[in-house]
Amino acid sequence: MKISREKLHQLIARKLHQAGLNDSHAATVAEVLTYADARGIHSHGAVRVEYYAERISKGGTNCNPHFNFEQTGPCSAILHADNAAGQVAAKEGMVQAISLARENGVAVVGIRQMGHSGAISCFAQMAAKAGFIGLSLCQSDPMVVPFGGAEIYYGTNPLAFAAPGEGEDIITFDMATTVQAWGKILDARARGESIPDSWAVDKNGAATTDPYAVHALLPAAGPKGYGLMMMIDILSGILLNLPFGRQVSSMYDNLSKGRDLGQLHIVINPAFFGNGILFRQHISQTMQELNAIAPAPGFQQVYYPGQNLDINERLSEKEGIEIVDDIYDYLVSDVLYTRSYETHSPFAQAK
């Protein structure tokens, strides 16, 4: 079924408030989840609400966190997030990073001890909407075999980049360092669909199309994705003196405990590196020139990175957001959660 963006935001915020978040924090988390669904990133949208509600209600998300913003240099800082909801911590960290970059040209802000923050392009876009370049990197659950390995070590460790063009133009790039994010497999489970055999392997290390048989994810482009996830783990984990590699907490293990995750925001003010107006003109020119490239056989058009998601978001404003019936039924119900996600394994089916 399709519902309006406003209605989806209202339903998600209501459920999260019911679980224990205050109105402001519930609205922020709902903002990021609704953003994801509107852009067609359903893996990071409403499908996550029931899990969040269980963790919040069990105390694994701090509903009354004390944020401590520690500026460690003219362009560097750490936001100690006290295991707040990840979206709330990531948004606050980006607000602070934008302020530093406006003053000093560059900002590098690490966020320590936070929860899962969802679609991180939302935070990179915050920087772009302020006229700056935004880059965000974060840790995630260990669920990926390193290239050539048979045991899990790293998480999907995503990165997001956004840069402003003229007017409302923004070019956005957002990727997991695996072939696909774990949330895509969760979405396939929710929709009762199979997955491509290039995404994951089963317990025997064989490719699988069954989302319930997944035992490990595969790095994108083999050694290249493996190298990227290593880099992101260092920048958002080791750099911030947080757990790293397979020490990173699992989303599905002990939902009564904070996750202690890390995220790193990097913000660059183009005006400190040249002509800020010309920079925005050239970003828009890049977007236009990419669109003008002759498409290869089998393709109708060349899109700039993230353009397909921009199109989804504009369509959702007119046509509504597609939501799986079961998820909608859960959101409108008074039930906090109907199954436990505390499975102690990222790949186990919630019961």
- Tokens, residue 274: 């040249």
Strand bridging mode 321-322 / 106-114 = unpaired
Number of domains in the chain: 2
188: in domain: yes
Beta strands in 33-122 (DSSP E): 68-71, 76-84, 106-114
313: in domain: no
Pair 248, 292 in one domain: no
User: What backbone phi and psi angles, to 5 degrees, belong to 12?
Assistant: -65, -45
Region at 310 (left for phi over 0; alpha for psi -120 to 50; beta for the rest): alpha
Integer Cα distance of 16 and 63 in angstroms: 10
Burial class (CB in 10 A: 0-12, 13-18, 19+), 204: exposed
Q: What is the pLDDT of residue 344?
A: 84
The three-state secondary structure class of 236 is: helix
Pair 213, 171 in one domain: yes
Q: What is the pLDDT of residue 205?
A: 83
Pair 295, 164 in one domain: no
Integer Cα distance of 349 and 351 in angstroms: 6
345: in domain: no
Cβ neighbours around 316 below 10 Å, total: 21
Pair 110, 235 in one domain: yes
6: in domain: no
- Helix (H) or strand (E) segment spanning residue 175: strand 170-175
Range of the domain at 286: 278-306
Pair 212, 73 in one domain: yes
The pLDDT tens digits along the chain (351 residues) read 999 999 999 999 999 999 999 999 999 999 999 999 999 999 899 999 999 999 999 999 999 999 999 999 999 999 999 999 999 999 999 999 999 999 999 999 999 999 999 999 999 999 999 999 999 999 999 999 999 888 899 999 999 999 999 999 999 999 999 998 877 888 898 889 999 999 999 888 888 999 999 999 999 999 999 999 999 999 999 999 999 999 999 999 999 999 999 999 999 999 999 999 999 999 999 999 999 999 999 999 999 999 999 999 999 999 999 999 999 999 999 999 988 999 888 777 665
Alpha helical stretches, state H, 130-275: 182-191, 223-236
Of residues 78, 96, 183, the one with CA closest to residue 134: 96
Is the CB of residue 346 less than 8 Å from the CB of residue 143? yes
- Tokens, residue 107: 């900002």
CA distances from 232 to 1, 157, 218, 225, 343 (A): 37, 6, 16, 11, 26
Is the CB of residue 93 less than 8 Å from the CB of residue 228? no
Pair 297, 195 in one domain: no
Of residues 81, 79, 92, the one with CA closest to residue 115: 81
Integer Cα distance of 196 and 207 in angstroms: 9
Pair 282, 197 in one domain: no
State pTM to two decimals: 0.94
Q: What is the pLDDT of residue 349?
A: 66
Is the CB of residue 63 less than 8 Å from the CB of residue 347? no
Pair 187, 292 in one domain: no
153: in domain: yes
Tens of pLDDT, residues 286-324: 999 999 999 999 999 999 999 999 999 999 999 999 999
Is the CB of residue 67 less than 8 Å from the CB of residue 29? no
Tens of pLDDT, residues 150-207: 889 999 999 999 999 999 999 999 999 999 887 788 889 888 999 999 999 988 888 8
Cβ neighbours around 250 below 10 Å, total: 18
Is the CB of residue 11 less than 8 Å from the CB of residue 50? no
* The one-letter amino acid at 183: G
Pair 295, 195 in one domain: no
Cβ neighbours around 232 below 10 Å, total: 24
Pair 223, 294 in one domain: no
Neighbouring C-alpha atoms within 13 Å toward the C-beta of 10: 6
Catalytic residues: 116
- Tokens, residue 179: 């072939």
Q: What is the pLDDT of residue 348?
A: 74
102: in domain: yes
Pair 257, 302 in one domain: no
- Overall residue count recorded for the chain in this entry: 351
